[in-house]
Structure 1
Amino acid sequence: MAATSWPSLRVSDWTATRDTLHMWTQIVGKIRMVHAPLVNHWWQVTLYVTPRGLATSAVPYRTGAFDIAFDFVGHRLEIRSSDGGVEGFPLRPMTVADFYAQVLRALDALGIEAPIRPRPNEVEPAIPFAEDHEHASYDGEAAALFWRQLLQANRVLGEFRAHFVGKVSPVHFFWGAMDLACTRFSGREAPAHPGGAPNCGDWVMVEGYSRELSSCGFWPGGGEEGAFYSYAYPAPEGFADHRVGPEGAHFSSELQQFLLPYEAVRSDPDPDRAVAEFLHTTYEAAAVLGDWDRRTLEDDPSRWDGTATPRWTPPRA
């Protein structure tokens, strides 16, 4: 069951599709961003894993709402409005410029304006969407496998999130770096982030990292089939040398974060347990060394079920 639930997808086998899909998700994410009010750390801009792909959730528009969804089962992009309108088109090999034009036409048919900044962030070079004829790949099978990777990551990150009762983000997909993330906060302010992300104002990172945090997630890089990651900001002294698990987890000096290759998870006899160990031990590296108030911030999600046995019980500080 684990072998079929955790699909194999080598990054090298779908890099062209990944990079095209990255640009497509940036377009959709920017449409959500331009219509949604700011929520701390940019939580209003993200996409969410659905039973068929990725979607915006409801985006406020005038006195109604709309949503945009990538369907990686039926391979369509669909836009639905609260007045009953539906527009969409098939996902197939096409340039970013063509995808962008089709999205704008669909929105126009629904009477929705989308005055976005029409170029990508956090990538180099940042080709304007309307001029990007370089990224034009769509392997539907690979897109569906990536979505199935996200399904598993979303599930285990959601279980991990449930152990924290302090301020914690949703499990959500950031289209800037193309990663699925969940972030816990200590409750303390953090020093101003220095920025430095390509084609992204430093003020964006200042808002994103304005509070002390421990963040984890999954992204289609860092391993032959992608990787789970975990980092702290600011990283406490000794963070990189803290003992973490499971076997295969390591600290990347280049990325300044812990990584657990997806292929190590997929081949483990108990993938869920392997990811849980990674998420909890890397969080503990931040919380223990950073002196977080763990008794206040953590709890057992099985606390109201006397018969349940949690898959992971974090040690109490």
Structure 2
Amino acid sequence: MGQARDVWPRLRVDDWSDTRDTLHMWTQIVGKVRLVHAPLVNHWWQVTLYVSPRGLTTSAIPYWGGAFDIEFDFVDHRLHLRASDGGTGGFALAPMPVSEFYDRTMRALADLGIETAIQGRPNEVDPSIPFADDDRHASYDAAAAHLFWRQLLQAARVMGEFRSRFVGKVSPVHFFWGAMDLACTRFSGREAPRHPGGAPNCGDWVMEEGYSQELSSCGFWPGGGDEGAFYAYAYPEPEGFADRPVGPSGAFYSQENGQFLLPYEVVRAASDPDQALLEFLQGTYEAAADLADWDRSALEADPARWAHKARVREPHTFAT
């Protein structure tokens, strides 16, 4: 697996921006398929994608008495569709316009007997070109897509460790296709003031649901730095949040974005990338929780709290 820094790949945003923008539209199409078939879960958690050992997956989507899933495979560069009745489908990921990807995805679903009609244009982007008409976004650099997935693997792994320290309400580590970011969100347990909305081509009611509870959120997205950036914010933002000192060196509060940012390249180049990212995630969470007076003693726990039990158990013997 290599040394710690070797598993954090280098991928300059400028080197794959066309592929990034195309892939953003592709993930919106697949995410909207999950949206129309899965029941609402608080904060739209039912619409997200998840990092998988091969790429990004919807996980199981209910359909009548069965289920299906869709996965972007960034190792073999294919879109895979699998149904619980044994049916499979898909096609190669290669340079193609969004309109073609949309048509092929809808036909692949129809071939599996999965009737699907999605909202035919993207959200949270401007302009919002209907998928069927979008011939502007047509790039796919397979090597860059693979590197992006490897970035997501590392981010998801460390964010998952950070998530394990919280026993209150906390989201999965999941990929929101609206903004194309990997996110994990902790909640205080209190209601939040109504969110003002304002995301492009996205109803204010969407943001009202997403931000209906007081939260501290963190994540990674392919922007905000030369190689992407980790972010952290609070809603509502408590007084003094932006002025809170947060490590590691290189982290800063962006007034433009209304959140703390840590460039990915700072983490990648650190002597201990995992620890550098955990310092950022923990420090920004503590800024939100302390300043907003969260009940931290009730919401946090040591993920190694049962380790002493494991140490005194008889060791397993494995046949070889």
TM-score, normalised via structure 1 length: 0.96
Query: 1:37 maps to which residue?
Result: 39
| 1:306 positional shift | 2.8
Kept after mapping to 2: 8 A contact 1:230/1:259: yes
* Map 1:77-226 → 2, pairs under 5 A: 77-226=79-228
CA–CA separation in structure 2 for the residues paired with 1:222 and 1:89: 32
Q: 1:57 aligns with which of 46, 56, 59?
A: 59
| 1:307 positional shift | 9.0
Query: 1:259 maps to which residue?
Result: 261
Kept after mapping to 2: 8 A contact 1:2/1:266: no
Kept after mapping to 2: 8 A contact 1:166/1:186: yes
Query: 2:30 maps to which residue?
Result: 28
| 1:263 positional shift | 0.2
Kept after mapping to 1: 8 A contact 2:123/2:200: yes
| 1:272 positional shift | 0.1
Deviations 1:99-128 (A, max 9, x none): 000001100100001111010000000000
Deviations 1:162-195 (A, max 9, x none): 0000000000000000000000000000000000
Q: 2:68 aligns with which of 58, 66, 69?
A: 66
| 1:2 positional shift | 2.1
Q: Percent identity?
A: 74
CA–CA separation in structure 1 for the residues paired with 2:169 and 2:221: 23
| 1:67 positional shift | 0.2
Residue 2 in structure 1 maps to residue 4 in structure 2? yes
Query: 1:291 maps to which residue?
Result: 293
CA–CA separation in structure 1 for the residues paired with 2:301 and 2:64: 40
| 1:243 positional shift | 1.1
Kept after mapping to 2: 8 A contact 1:17/1:137: yes
| 1:3 positional shift | 2.6
CA–CA separation in structure 2 for the residues paired with 1:65 and 1:71: 19
Q: Which amino acid in 1 is paired with 2:242?
A: A
Give 3-state SS (helix, strand or coil) of 2:308's partner: coil
Kept after mapping to 1: 8 A contact 2:13/2:222: yes
CA–CA separation in structure 1 for the residues paired with 2:221 and 2:309: 35
CA–CA separation in structure 2 for the residues paired with 1:3 and 1:301: 25
Structure 1's unaligned 5+ residue stretches are 309-317
Q: Which amino acid in 1 is paired with 2:220?
A: F
Give 3-state SS (helix, strand or coil) of 2:25's partner: helix
Query: 2:317 maps to which residue?
Result: none
Query: 1:12 maps to which residue?
Result: 14
| 1:44 positional shift | 0.1
Kept after mapping to 1: 8 A contact 2:5/2:273: no
Give 3-state SS (helix, strand or coil) of 1:230's partner: strand
| 1:157 positional shift | 0.3
CA–CA separation in structure 2 for the residues paired with 1:113 and 1:232: 39
Give 3-state SS (helix, strand or coil) of 2:146's partner: helix
| 1:97 positional shift | 0.2
Q: Which amino acid in 2 is paired with 1:252?
A: S
Superposition misfits of 4+ residues, deviation over 2 angstroms: none
Kept after mapping to 2: 8 A contact 1:66/1:80: yes
Give 3-state SS (helix, strand or coil) of 1:282's partner: helix
| Cα RMSD for the two superposed structures | 0.8
Query: 2:274 maps to which residue?
Result: 272
Q: Which amino acid in 2 is paired with 1:189?
A: E
Q: 1:248 aligns with which of 239, 247, 250?
A: 250
